[in-house]
Structure 1
Amino acid sequence: MSTPADTPTGEGLFDDVDLGWEHLKNRLFKYLLFGAAMFGVVALGVLIFDVITDFYVGLTEFNISLVDFVTRDGSRRPELSGFRGAIVASVMLMALTAFLSFFIGVGSAIYLEEYAPDNRITRLIEANLANLAGVPSIVYGLLALAALRNGIGLGPIVLVGGVALALLVMPIIIVSSQEALRAVPDSVRRGSYATGATQWQTIRKVVLPAALPGIFTGTILALARAIGETAPLLMVGALFVNRMPRGLMDRFSGMPTQIYSWAAEPSQHFIHLAAVGIVVLLTFMLVMNGIAVYLRNKYETEI
């Protein structure tokens, strides 16, 4: 069957296009993306190599004992200085941060996803929460400084540091909890309503158990970010403290601020102490990320 003369056949459609140049642009763009990705990987590798090198030199040439390092408090003498107070302070900060942010964050996410109407105000709140999740951490430190230290008159104590970090991670917990709740299919909710369950019973017995793996994962990852934050703690005045905190009203020096304090010292011994502290801090962060992955793999179920 012949094709009519006035029917377009597609021939000559790309006659004026240099396909060789288009393929070259595609390859160049692919190489550009690959180079951008590798730049971050290489930079991270260089930093890790530098830290590991200083860590090894500290253990071998400066005779830093890991046991003594994690069982001694801070000191102005590098040969007597340890990391115990900073570790205990960071653990206390994480416990307080989780307590202050988890219930408020998850409760806010439940309200926004399950109860709040879909209107302009709700969408504005959700947009602001997404923006707050990306605000630099130093802003939350300045907020805690203005409200708690300058406003109420509290000193650089564990309570103030915990509030600053809770403000930092709360938007992240809310957003991640919302995503976990959205991942629960509506058919599950409708099935629960069909059995006569109320909305709160459906949320408590059906929706939350299905969303908990995602909620826990987001919370732990947010806390893993908080444990390495330095700027908020510096803003509230958590600098060098040579003793271990024993309560929420005690002065403290967390792991990041202790590392910052050592790295600013002119002595090479302190520099290598900072490298050992970085390795300990990275270990904590890797363990927390590993726990998050484990919880997701263990409790995630198909609905």
Structure 2
Amino acid sequence: MRIDPFLTQRLMKSLLWSLTGLTLFFLIFIIAFISVKGLPQVTFHFLFHDIEDMGRAGGIFPTIVTTIYLTLVALAVASPLGVGTAIYLTEYTREGWVTRLIRFGAECLAGVPSIILGLFGFVLFVIKLNLGWSMLSGGLSLAIMVLPTIIRTSEEALKAVPREYHDVCYSLGIGKWRTITRVVLPCALPGIMTGIVLSIGRSIGETAVVLFTAGASLRLPATLFDSGRSMAVHFYILAREGLSMPNAYGTAAILIISILLINISAYSLMQRFIRRYS
């Protein structure tokens, strides 16, 4: 029995639209639910005051500072390593067992559960290197976690740059490194930034790794060697222990808003770079 191709097209189009709508519905529902529950708690006092009574009262300012510290340390370590690895894989080596081994290792690392990475970071950074529960231990552990994302997205972005750009630069006598830094990287920057933004979002929302390596101190960290509690860990403890569900929803609302603002800002930045180098 032959099925009308136009009918099949309409059915598949309707199915795809339905799946897209369902995905958007869940996204909007989660954002709306958390916003309705949490935004009434978000005040100046909530954002810029210390935690009081184990989280039952006060604000979340120390958790905001801790989250920023951890994310910056993770990006400062993972970004140059990830982009450098991607440049090596695409520009300085031919396809072979070395590149396949590196890609396989990155994919395996991306599949390791965060709780295992947290335990690894605890043993290596907290105990063996004697860094203790600190911003540095947490940031280094997060860097290991987000490194595969930056490597893969950066590599795909570099591969997407037309090969003709290289040929033109070489024909003009421009060296390889200058070609990479002046031509290839600017063209690939939107894709590289996408991987970094994804890493920021994952770092902000990570709980297990941070709990094992940065601790859960309620104090405001003054240096990279101080312990602290991130917003995700704070939300987890408040919700799990039942200390204050209103404050837990408020913390969750700040997390979602932060990630949304980061994604919107990064999207705008990428569009500017695309227009500039297109």
Structure 2 Cα separation of the partners of residues 252 and 138 of structure 1: 18
For residue 187 of structure 1, the aligned residue among 164, 178, 197 is 164
TM-superposed deviation, 1:41: 4.4
Structure 2 Cα separation of the partners of residues 232 and 142 of structure 1: 7
What do the CA deviations read for 1:6-49 (whole angstroms, capped 9, x no partner)?
xxxxxxxxxxx3649xx79x95x877766665555444444334
2:64 aligned partner, one-letter code? I
Match of 1:117 in 2: 94
The answer (yes or no) to whether the contact 1:217–1:295 under 8 Å persists in 2 is no
TM-superposed deviation, 1:52: 2.7
Change in CA separation of 1:264 and 1:36 when aligned onto 2, cut-off 3 Å: same
Point out where structure 1 has 5 or more consecutive residues left out of the alignment.
1-16
Which segment is superposed worse, 130-139 or 115-124? 130-139
Change in CA separation of 1:200 and 1:46 when aligned onto 2, cut-off 3 Å: closer
User: Are 2:255 and 1:281 aligned?
Assistant: yes
User: Are 2:273 and 1:296 aligned?
Assistant: no
Match of 2:103 in 1: 126
Q: How does 1:247-266 map to 2 (within 5 A)?
A: 247-266=223-242
Change in CA separation of 1:168 and 1:217 when aligned onto 2, cut-off 3 Å: same
Point out where structure 2 has 5 or more consecutive residues left out of the alignment.
none
Bigger radius of gyration: 1
For residue 202 of structure 1, the aligned residue among 166, 171, 179 is 179
The answer (yes or no) to whether the contact 2:49–2:60 under 8 Å persists in 1 is yes
What do the CA deviations read for 1:154-198 (whole angstroms, capped 9, x no partner)?
322111110111011111111111111111111010000001112
Runs of 4+ residues deviating >6 angstroms: 29-35
Q: What's the TM-score, normalizing by structure 2?
A: 0.88
Flag the structure with more relative contact order, 1 or 2, with Cα contacts below 8 A and sequence separation at least 6.
Answer: 2
Question: Matched residue pairs, number?
Answer: 276
Change in CA separation of 1:145 and 1:40 when aligned onto 2, cut-off 3 Å: farther
The answer (yes or no) to whether the contact 2:158–2:188 under 8 Å persists in 1 is yes
Identity fraction in percent? 32
For residue 229 of structure 1, the aligned residue among 206, 211, 220 is 206
Q: What's the TM-score, normalizing by structure 1?
A: 0.81
1:162 aligned partner, one-letter code? G
The answer (yes or no) to whether the contact 1:245–1:251 under 8 Å persists in 2 is yes
The answer (yes or no) to whether the contact 2:50–2:62 under 8 Å persists in 1 is yes
Structure 2 Cα separation of the partners of residues 72 and 146 of structure 1: 33
TM-superposed deviation, 1:78: 5.1
Structure 2 Cα separation of the partners of residues 288 and 136 of structure 1: 25
1:282 aligned partner, one-letter code? I
The answer (yes or no) to whether the contact 2:214–2:227 under 8 Å persists in 1 is no
Match of 1:47 in 2: 30
Q: How does 1:1-303 map to 2 (within 5 A)?
A: 17=1, 19=3, 27=11, 40-55=23-38, 59=40, 64=41, 66-76=43-53, 80-236=57-213, 238-239=215-216, 241-267=217-243, 270-300=244-274, 301=276
Query: 1 or 2, which has the higher helix percentage?
Result: 2
